[in-house]
């Protein structure tokens, strides 16, 4: 039974002609499934409706071939033939009593139309905002008229597909309607440019068109970026956005407000905490009588209640928290707040869309596997005859494997050699900005420690002899990995002999405190190209050391561009006074001098270096596996039926990959081996 203080979150909200069943609103977000994987998309959205989200939105939906986001995999509603795929979504959402919303989009100069080869449109002639050598042409009056018709046609098709809420979208600096609003994109001199009222004209017309076309039975919502964090160069919440919402105050049925661009809207927990958008969206309710939804990576029901009671929001919007735990609303409703699997703000989900593949989630390994593998985040195949399982290693892979097995009714023993649970998660969550990552450990521990069929042992270093002596039939090894100190990585595929006598530390050393107290200049060499090296550089800079960041890449942490962090990471290092030396490899070390060479010219350069922190690659901790493998002939006599390696000790990767590996192991042990492919549905 839910806490009565949360009753307000379960009140219905009227949005034009439709009514929600509660205040939980999954705002539009990309999944990387889109038009190529419609069954996967529908299953993912349906799970959220089952989990209690009163409104479930699909991702941005291209309304016309001139807004082709290829290779990004969004939804499409170019013509009537796209309706059946989207109808799968609405049917999945309606099945559980929720409303289905669709975000119609024409992306203007944000697309290069790589598939359709249409010439992009924009308010004024401009280069597209990708790296493509393509320019958008200025729309003439005929183009504007055609665009208005396309939007109406798409809205009618959306209604036919069964959507209850239809968006007019002007956000994230990636839509034609927002481009018309912004002076930097709109230099027109006709009635669609120049003054504020002229720049607002097309937005007002499209909103009216959409209301007229579908407003009898569908709610028409506006999604608007209220601040771009660009100062006078962009929309500001207290100037232009305030004027836009005031001018259109009660014309839409709902306002969905956020920040722009996407890297501002979906900031990671390393750079922004829960509720970081509140100062920008607080004004909206003061200028409109219509319902308002906003986001802020909210996972706390107490915060949600505060937002409603303060008159800040009518509906609690979420993208990432709804991915991490699709059943968040139901858990609040059922009085199971401690069971909420809280988002850690790592943006691994975002990286899926940015690499044009179905997304993944560090906290929720069933994400995007609801249809393909039939995984449900809250339902597990129960074992007919419980067996014993020994899990060696209490990091992310081991904890997840133990949890899935336990939820399936198996008898689980989990042993961890160190004095604490969590493995790399515990270590990394102590690094600057990564504290919320500890939720990966804490949620799983909270679940496991309450289960009677789980035995948990810390400081239990097991050998091959121990495992053979125990004779437990099923053994999972999740012993992790260790950062290499020999320079081996992408740029240097073999160990660098000159590092053998150099003062080298690894991220493991840093996380165990061995950098503390080191004097003199520190060089961080990054060939991992994600977050670790930049965080290590922060640790070193905080000690007051002179820090130089060397990387073979052109920028700091290039893979973090997929998690929307790259700019912030590089800016932070610059602010901390870290010298950045891109496009250089390691070339030698002698007499407190590190040699580096240009990746293109081979030109040598020497850097003062009393300590080198090498962040390149990791080696699996597979000694226990090798020892057991060497004695495989003794397994049967000892009663061991199978031994598997999981996570980083199998192949080092992301924390998300380790969680996924542990989850897959537990599902497979229960006989859940189904894998479907949408690209060969007739064969399957």
CA torsion through residues 197, 202, 207, 212, sign: positive
30 given a catalytic annotation: yes
Contacts of 127-130 with C-beta under 8 Å, sequence gap 24+, read 129/173, 129/174
Instruction: For 251, list phi and psi in degrees, rounded to 5.
Output: -75, -45
**Beta strand spans in 240-360 (E):** 254-259, 292-294, 315-318
Q: Which of 128, 146, 129 is nearest to 137 (CA)?
A: 128
Of the residues 25, 169, 531, 660, which is catalytic?
169
Active site residue 660: no
Closest to 512 (Cα-Cα) out of 580, 420, 586: 420
Cβ(548)–Cβ(517) under 8 Å?
no
Reading the block at residue 528, the tokens are 């991992």
Looking at 29, 30, 164, 339, which residue is catalytic?
30
List the Cα angle 543/544/550 in 5-degree steps: 90
Residue whose token pair is 């010219």: 601
User: How long a stretch of residues is the chain?
Assistant: 684
332, 42 contact by CB (below 8 A):
no
Strand order in the sheet with 593-598: 584-590, 593-598, 604-608
Options 82, 227, 256, 265, the catalytic residue? 265
| 492: annotated active-site residue | no
Residues sharing a CB contact under 8 Å with residue 601, sequence separation 6 or more, in sequence order: none
Number of neighbours of residue 302 by Cβ within 10 angstroms:
11
How far is the C-alpha of 235 from the C-alpha of 224, rounded, in Å? 10
Q: Tell me the pairing of strands 219-227 and 165-170.
A: parallel
CB 298 within 8 A of CB 312: no
Backbone angles phi, psi at 529, to 5 degrees: 75, 15
H/E stretch holding 243: helix 240-248
HSE-CB of 320 using CA atoms within 13 angstroms:
28
Pairing of strands 474-477, 522-526: unpaired
DSSP line for 329-389: HHHHHTT-GGG--------HHHHHHHTTS----SS-TTTT-TTTT---SS--PPPSS--EE
Q: Is residue 127 helix, strand or coil?
A: strand
Query: What does the alpha-carbon distance between residue 570 and residue 215 come to, in Å, rounded to a whole number?
Result: 46
Q: Which of 29, 44, 64, 172 is catalytic?
A: 172
Q: Is 265 a catalytic residue?
A: yes
In order of 359, 375, 419, 485, the CA distances from 680 in angstroms are 20, 20, 49, 45
Contacts of 602 (CB under 8 A, 6+ apart): none
List the catalytic residues.
Answer: 30, 169, 172, 265
């Amino acid at each position: 039974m839910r806490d009565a203080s949360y009753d307000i979150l379960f009140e219905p909200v009227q949005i034009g002609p439709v009514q929600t069943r509660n205040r939980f609103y999954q705002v539009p977000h990309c999944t990387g499934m889109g038009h190529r994987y419609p069954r996967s998309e529908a299953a993912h959205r349906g799970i959220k409706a089952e989990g209690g989200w009163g409104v479930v939105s699909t991702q941005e939906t291209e309304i016309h071939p001139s807004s082709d986001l290829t290779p990004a995999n969004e939804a499409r509603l170019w013509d009537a033939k796209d309706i059946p795929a989207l109808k799968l979504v609405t049917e999945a959402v309606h099945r559980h009593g929720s409303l289905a919303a669709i975000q119609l989009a024409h992306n203007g100069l944000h697309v290069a139309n790589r598939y359709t080869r249409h010439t992009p449109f924009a308010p004024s002639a401009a280069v597209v905002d990708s790296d493509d050598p393509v320019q958008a042409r200025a729309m003439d009056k005929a183009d504007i008229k055609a665009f208005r018709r396309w939007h109406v046609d798409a809205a009618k098709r959306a209604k036919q597909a069964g959507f209850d809420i239809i968006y007019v979208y002007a956000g994230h600096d990636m839509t034609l309607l927002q481009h018309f609003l912004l002076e930097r994109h709109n230099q027109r001199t006709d009635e669609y440019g120049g003054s504020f009222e002229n720049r607002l004209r097309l937005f007002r017309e499209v909103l009216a068109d959409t209301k007229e076309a579908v407003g009898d039975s569908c709610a028409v919502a506006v999604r608007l970026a209220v601040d771009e964090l660009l100062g006078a160069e962009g929309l500001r919440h207290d100037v232009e956005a305030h004027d836009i919402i005031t001018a259109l105050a009660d014309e839409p049925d709902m306002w969905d407000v956020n920040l722009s661009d996407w890297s501002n809207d979906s900031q990671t927990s390393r750079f922004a905490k829960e509720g970081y958008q509140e100062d920008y969206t607080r004004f909206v309710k003061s200028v409109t009588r219509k319902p308002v939804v906003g986001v802020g990576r909210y996972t706390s029901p107490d915060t949600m209640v505060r937002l409603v009671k303060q008159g800040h929001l009518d509906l609690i919007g979420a993208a990432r928290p709804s991915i991490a735990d699709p059943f968040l609303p139901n858990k609040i409703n059922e009085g199971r707040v401690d069971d909420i699997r809280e988002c850690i703000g790592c943006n691994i989900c975002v990286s899926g869309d940015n690499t044009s593949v179905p997304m993944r989630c560090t906290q929720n390994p069933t994400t995007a596997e609801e249809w393909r593998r039939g995984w449900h985040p809250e339902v597990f195949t129960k074992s007919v005859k419980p067996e014993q399982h020994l899990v060696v290693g209490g990091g992310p892979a081991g904890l997840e494997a133990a949890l899935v097995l336990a939820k399936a009714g198996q008898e689980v023993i989990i042993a961890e050699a160190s004095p604490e649970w969590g493995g790399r998660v515990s270590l990394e969550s102590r690094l600057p900005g990564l504290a919320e990552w500890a939720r990966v450990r804490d949620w799983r521990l909270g679940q496991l420690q309450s289960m009677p069929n789980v035995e948990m042992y810390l400081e239990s270093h097991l050998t091959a002899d121990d495992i053979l002596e125990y004779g437990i039939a099923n053994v999972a090894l999740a012993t992790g990995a260790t950062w290499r100190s020999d320079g081996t990585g992408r740029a240097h595929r073999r160990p660098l002999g000159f590092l053998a006598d150099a003062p080298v530390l690894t991220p493991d050393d840093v996380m165990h405190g061995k950098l503390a107290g080191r004097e003199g200049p520190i060089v961080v060499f990054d060939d991992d190209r994600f977050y670790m090296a930049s965080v290590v550089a922060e640790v070193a800079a905080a000690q007051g050391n002179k820090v130089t960041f060397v990387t073979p890449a052109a920028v700091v942490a290039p893979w973090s561009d997929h998690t929307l962090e790259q700019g912030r990471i590089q800016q932070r290092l610059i602010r901390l006074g870290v010298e950045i030396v891109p496009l250089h490899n390691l070339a030698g070390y002698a007499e407190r001098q590190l040699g580096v060479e240009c990746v293109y010219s081979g030109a040598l350069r020497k850097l003062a270096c009393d300590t080198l922190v090498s962040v390149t690659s990791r080696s699996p901790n597979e000694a226990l596996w090798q020892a057991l493998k060497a004695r495989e002939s003794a397994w049967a006599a000892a009663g061991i039926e199978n031994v598997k390696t999981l996570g980083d000790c199998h192949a080092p990767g992301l924390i998300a990959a380790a969680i996924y590996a542990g989850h897959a192991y537990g599902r497979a042990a229960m006989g859940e081996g189904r894998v479907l492919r949408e690209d060969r549905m007739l064969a399957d």
